[in-house]
Amino acid sequence: MNSTPLDSNVEAVVCIPTFRRPAWLRQTLESVLSQKTDFPFAIVVVDNDAANPAGHDVAKAMLETSGIASTLEIEPSQGNCYAINRAFSSALQHYPSARWFLMIDDDEIAEAGWLQHMVATARRNDSDIVGGPVTRTFEEDVPPSIRNHAIFGSIEGETRQVEMIHGSGNCLIARHVFERFGAPFFDLRFNFLGGGDMEFFTRCRLAGYKTWWCAEAIIHETVPSDRSNPKWLMQRSMRIGSINFVIDRLHMGAFAGVKVFAKNLVSLSLGVVRSLAILVRTGEIVPATHPLLMSVGRMAPLLGLTPSPYQAKA
């Protein structure tokens, strides 16, 4: 671990988990380091590639002379939940004065004013959680049927209170939320499946925490070519269904098994209808498969077919 001396005045900490994307991480860090705020902030980077921590080396070179408080960690247990939990735990420990903890992924770039907008929204509305838009930049040209696919959708509209956010790629979480839930913050059952962030924010909603959407806090995500093709999109649709199933099973309370099975049957019926409606309206096959494949994905864990896209190859 590398860490600058503790700054007792830090109010916010930006957490960046990274895995085998040193060049992209450099761009992410450049965008965070350029943020102008009316409060001191710190940066925590956790490299999840212990065998070859190239991201750690990039972050060290950039941060050790930045003048901004920072902590660098290497997480040996592979998986996104391990890396994210390590980042938040380290931030909570090393910056005890910090009230807000933000996360940005290592394939994202924050617009100017992002950090100030997120914290200002939390301050102004006494928010427990804040989310912001993530716009996609595709590495290669893609047709509208891919660019406008539901998977790349997001909450839209003006800054306002919302029921919950669904992803951690542009989020702020107040310290007291972590203190209430305790570690591990993201459920390790979602470590390779994905969706640990959605399950966490589902718990926040059920606990009554107040969530705000900040339309001005914009982040740009780079979508590589291997994530903008029909095969990947269809697999992702099924994985979202599997994630939804596992979350429902965890939080439906008494008779959860019966309730989830009934919901699966309803979902499958609605999935057929919705997919046909999209196909008739647009004439595009790939977007039309999304509702049906999500419903099929809900069935997969019942057959022991839970996907594990975040389990890296050696």
User: Are residues 60 and 162 located together in one domain of the fold?
Assistant: yes
Q: Whole-angstrom Cα distance, residue 263 to residue 102?
A: 34
Q: Which pLDDT value is given to residue 256?
A: 72
Given 212, 227, 242, the domain boundary residue is 227
User: Are residues 16 and 103 located together in one domain of the fold?
Assistant: yes
User: Are residues 268 and 190 located together in one domain of the fold?
Assistant: no
Residues 178-199 have a mean pLDDT of 96
Give residue-wise pLDDT tens across range 189-226: 999 999 999 999 999 999 999 999 999 999 999 999 99
222: number of CA atoms within 13 Å, CB side? 14
Query: Is residue 306 very low, low, confident or very high in pLDDT (cuts 50, 70, 90)?
Result: confident
Query: Is residue 21 very low, low, confident or very high in pLDDT (cuts 50, 70, 90)?
Result: very high
302 CB burial (10 A radius; 0-12, 13-18, 19+):
middle
User: Quick one: which of 55, 84, 73, 67 has its CA closest to 7?
Assistant: 67
Q: Which pLDDT value is given to residue 38?
A: 97
DSSP state, residue 150: G
Query: Is residue 311 very low, low, confident or very high in pLDDT (cuts 50, 70, 90)?
Result: confident
The CATH number of residue 198's host domain is 3.90.550.10
Q: Which pLDDT value is given to residue 3?
A: 63
Residue 46 tokens, joined: 């956790």
Given 199, 227, 255, the domain boundary residue is 227
Is 240 among the domain residues? yes
Is 37 among the domain residues? yes
* Residue 41 scores a pLDDT above 80: yes
Q: How many CB atoms lie within 10 A of CB 45?
A: 29
Is 61 among the domain residues? yes
* Residue 174 scores a pLDDT above 90: yes
Is 308 among the domain residues? no
How many domains does one find in the chain?
Answer: 2
Q: Which pLDDT value is given to residue 314?
A: 60
Given 171, 206, 227, the domain boundary residue is 227
* Residue 80 scores a pLDDT above 80: yes
User: Are residues 211 and 234 located together in one domain of the fold?
Assistant: no
Is 172 among the domain residues? yes
User: Are residues 222 and 235 located together in one domain of the fold?
Assistant: no
With H, G, I as helix, E, B as strand and everything else as coil, classify residue 112: coil
Q: Which pLDDT value is given to residue 308?
A: 80
Q: Which pLDDT value is given to residue 241?
A: 95
Give residue-wise pLDDT tens across range 243-296: 999 999 898 876 777 888 788 888 989 999 999 999 999 999 999 999 999 999
Q: Whole-angstrom Cα distance, residue 243 to residue 299?
A: 11
- Residue that the structure tokens 């406008």 belong to: 148
Q: Which pLDDT value is given to residue 47?
A: 99
How confident is the prediction for the chain on average, in pLDDT?
94
User: Are residues 289 and 175 located together in one domain of the fold?
Assistant: no
Residue 145 tokens, joined: 């049927």
User: Are residues 275 and 138 located together in one domain of the fold?
Assistant: no
- 62: containing domain: 2-227
Q: Which pLDDT value is given to residue 253?
A: 76
User: Are residues 39 and 55 located together in one domain of the fold?
Assistant: yes
Q: Is 92 in contact with 116 (CB distance < 8 Å)? A: no
Q: Whole-angstrom Cα distance, residue 232 to residue 226?
A: 7
Residues 298-309 have a mean pLDDT of 82
Q: Which pLDDT value is given to residue 4?
A: 62
User: Are residues 211 and 173 located together in one domain of the fold?
Assistant: yes
Give residue-wise pLDDT tens across range 131-172: 999 999 999 999 999 999 999 998 999 999 999 999 999 999
Q: What is the pTM of this model?
A: 0.93
Is 15 among the domain residues? yes
